[in-house]
Amino acid sequence: MIPVYLKENYTGAYSVIQYGIKGDKVFILKREPYGMTLVMNESGLKFYVHETILSLKPVEKDAVIIPVHKATKRKVR
């Protein structure tokens, strides 16, 4: 198995399952025609991706942004 890295987040088109995020290490299992590649992530989940989003060099993960809920100011009567 050849280890490669995802260049961008990958979500299933119909299932809307997030298979991997930018920088995740995946392993190439099989190359298909038309640029599709069967890969497996580190947790053992297999999925197809296009070769253009795979990189042989490690990709730095994006910073995690935690949403902050702002408190509202209410007038008390």
Higher-scoring residue by pLDDT: 3, 64: 3
* Distance (Å, whole) CA 42 – CA 18: 14
pLDDT single digits (tens) 67-76: 887 777 776 6
What is the predicted pLDDT for the residue at 76? 66
Q: Using alpha carbons, list the distances in angstroms from residue 73 to 67, 70, 77.
A: 19, 10, 13
What is the predicted pLDDT for the residue at 66? 82
pLDDT single digits (tens) 6-46: 999 999 888 888 999 999 999 999 999 888 999 999 999 99
What is the predicted pLDDT for the residue at 77? 67
CATH topology of domain 2-55: SH3 type barrels. (2.30.30)
Task: Delimit the domains of the chain by residue range.
Answer: 2-55
